[in-house]
Amino acid sequence: MKIKVKKEMNLHQLIQWARENNVKGETFTSNYGRAVKFYSDVSFNTMVPIFHWDTFTVEAEEEITERTVIPLFLEVYEYEGELVFLPQKEKSIKDLLEESDLEENITTKTLYIINDDGTLTLIWRDGELIK
C-alpha cells in the first residue's frame, strides 16, 4: 500500500526529487516564498536567489512497510474485552506492536492513518498490512 506523505527538502534535494519523479510544469514555493519552476524539458528556473535555509514541502507517495514511521495514526486494540481507540504519533507499526506485546491483555486489532482532512485509512488488520 502507498500513502501520500509530505517531505521537506532543500533546493538540491528538490531538484533531485523532481528529476527522479519526472516532474514537469510544476512550481514549488519555499517556506520563504521563493519559487522554483520545473519545465517540460526537465530544466528549471528561479527568479530570485534560493538560500541554503529555504526549504520546500512536496507531497510524495511512499510504500508502507512495518518499519515506516507514520506521523499520526489510530490504534484500535482490545483490553480486557473492551475496544480502545488510541491516537499515536511518529511510530512504526513494528515499534507499536512490540510495545503492545509487552503489555498484558492487549491485542491490537487495526491501525488507521489519520489523514490531514481527518479521515482514516486502514493500513493494518489481523496481523498484516493491507495491500
Last residue of a domain, one of 63, 82, 98: 63
Task: Examine the domain organization and report whether 41 and 76 are in the same domain.
Answer: no
Range(s) of the domain holding residue 25: 2-63
Task: Examine the domain organization and report whether 54 and 91 are in the same domain.
Answer: no
95 φ, ψ (degrees, to nearest 5): -60, -45
Structural domain count of the chain: 2
Task: Examine the domain organization and report whether 50 and 19 are in the same domain.
Answer: yes
Task: Examine the domain organization and report whether 21 and 40 are in the same domain.
Answer: yes
The 10s digit of each residue's pLDDT in 57-84 is: 998 888 889 998 888 999 999 988 899 9
Task: Examine the domain organization and report whether 55 and 80 are in the same domain.
Answer: no
Task: Examine the domain organization and report whether 55 and 78 are in the same domain.
Answer: no
Task: Examine the domain organization and report whether 57 and 76 are in the same domain.
Answer: no
Last residue of a domain, one of 21, 47, 63: 63
pLDDT of residue 125: 94
pLDDT of residue 73: 93
Section 14-23 average pLDDT: 92
Task: Examine the domain organization and report whether 59 and 75 are in the same domain.
Answer: no
Give the pLDDT band (50/70/90) at residue 101.
Answer: confident
Task: Examine the domain organization and report whether 52 and 105 are in the same domain.
Answer: no
Task: Examine the domain organization and report whether 123 and 80 are in the same domain.
Answer: yes
Q: Using H for helix, E for strand and C for coil, what is the string for the chain? A: CEEEEEEEECHHHHHHHHHHCCCCCEEEEECCCCEEEECCCCCEECCCCCCCCCCEEEEEEEECCCCCEEEEEEEEEEECCEEEEEEEEEEEHHHHHHHHHHCCCEEEEEEEEECCCCCEEEEEECCEECC
Amino acid at 24: K
CA separation for the pair 84, 91 (Å, rounded): 18
Give the pLDDT band (50/70/90) at residue 105.
Answer: confident
